[in-house]
């Protein structure tokens, strides 16, 4: 298929690589062109604006950091929506508020095109290994048209309901990531201050009953942060704030989420906002009188 992709960061870029490997023609755009160099060398076409991407494509994807970035690539004469016409499809994989996504879907439908929200669950590693999970919110018939293409990105593709509901599911998953990481860090520090080496504690815990997939791949980050954050503090805190706002709107208490959010705030205050959110370990370690 003729595919468009707006947002070629770590996750978006790896998705494009998979789509190219599957034989699709991909036209891409990113605010910083240098991030697309490797993809261009692999055969991706370049567009000068999101509108050009949509105009050249049957299905256009976007994956950007927040609602401000999403507005920047969708709105205005050079925006993605301006390039949509009847029959085209738009798949937004960004994590934004469900209400904002529904509003965008309504604008897309005014052009005769259709849109789904399709955030993912997984990391760069799970994407590269072909184990990514994709959640989709939107019309069932649109989902069925997109399903074969989404399976080229990840093997688990689930239609969860109407527009916005995939984002609800994504936010529900991400608050769990933060809460799990918080508990893991507290456990490691209790072991360490009792006299067990950090390496041994991490090794035991990542092979124990608590070893969810997230704990297994992110737990070792308390020993050494990755060279490039998989999901930094700012990104995780954005999702925690979305979860707390949803909790307020739906009358669902989210006390564990609120607590984790405070430690993310502390991490930002310590200058670690660009570190992977596993850096909450360092916040707790500092509070415990333990040096890195």
Beta carbons of 131 and 155 less than 8 angstroms apart: yes
Q: How many residues does the chain have?
A: 292
The pLDDT value given to residue 262: 98
Q: What letters, b where the CB count within 10 A reaches 16 and e where it falls short, cover 100-122? A: bbbebbeebeebebbbbbbbbbb
114-117 and 120-121: which strand pairing?
A: unpaired
pTM, two decimal places: 0.90
CATH of 2-162, one of 3.40.50.150, 3.40.630.30, 3.40.50.720, 2.70.70.10: 3.40.50.720
Of residues 117, 198, 197, the one with CA closest to residue 158 = 117
Distance CA 217, CA 278 (A): 11
Residue-by-residue pLDDT tens, the chain, 292 positions = 899 999 998 889 999 999 999 999 999 999 888 889 999 999 999 999 999 999 999 999 999 999 999 999 999 999 999 999 999 999 999 999 999 999 999 999 999 999 999 999 877 777 877 788 999 999 999 999 999 999 999 889 999 999 999 999 999 999 999 999 999 999 999 999 999 999 999 999 999 999 998 899 899 999 999 888 889 999 999 999 999 999 999 999 999 999 999 999 999 999 999 999 999 999 999 999 987 6
Domain with CATH 1.10.1040.10 in the chain: 168-287
From-to residues of CATH 3.40.50.720 in the chain:
2-162
Q: Are 276 and 231 in contact (CB under 8 A)?
A: yes
What architecture is the 168-287 domain classified under in CATH?
Answer: Orthogonal Bundle (1.10)
Given the structure tokens 């456990």, which residue do they identify? Answer: 187
């Amino acid at each position: 298929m003729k595919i468009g992709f707006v947002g070629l960061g770590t996750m978006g870029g790896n998705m494009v690589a998979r789509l190219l490997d599957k034989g699709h023609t991909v036209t891409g755009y990113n605010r910083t062109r240098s991030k697309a160099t490797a993809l261009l060398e692999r055969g991706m076409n370049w567009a000068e604006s999101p509108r050009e991407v949509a105009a050249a494509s049957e299905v256009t994807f976007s994956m950007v950091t927040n609602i401000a970035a999403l507005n920047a690539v969708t709105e205005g004469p050079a925006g993605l929506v301006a390039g949509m016409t009847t029959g085209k499809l738009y798949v937004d994989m960004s994590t934004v508020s469900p209400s904002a996504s529904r509003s965008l879907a309504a604008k897309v439908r005014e052009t005769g095109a259709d849109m789904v929200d399709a955030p993912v669950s997984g990391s760069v590693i799970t994407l590269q290994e072909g184990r990514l999970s994709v959640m989709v919110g939107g019309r069932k018939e649109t989902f069925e048209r997109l399903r074969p293409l989404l399976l080229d990105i990840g093997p688990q593709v689930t239609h969860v309901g109407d527009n916005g509901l995939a984002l609800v599911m994504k936010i529900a998953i991400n608050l769990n990531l933060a809460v799990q990481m918080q508990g893991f860090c507290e456990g490691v520090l209790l072991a360490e201050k009792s006299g067990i080496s950090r390496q041994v504690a991490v090794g035991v815990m990542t092979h124990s009953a608590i070893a969810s997939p997230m704990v297994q791949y992110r737990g070792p980050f308390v020993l050494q942060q990755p060279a490039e954050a998989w999901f930094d503090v700012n990104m995780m805190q954005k999702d925690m704030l979305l979860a707390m706002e949803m909790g307020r709107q739906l009358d669902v208490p989210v006390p564990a989420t609120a607590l984790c959010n405070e430690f993310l705030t502390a991490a930002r205050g310590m200058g670690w906002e660009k570190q992977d959110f596993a850096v909450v370990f360092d916040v707790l370690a500092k509070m415990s009188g333990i040096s890195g």
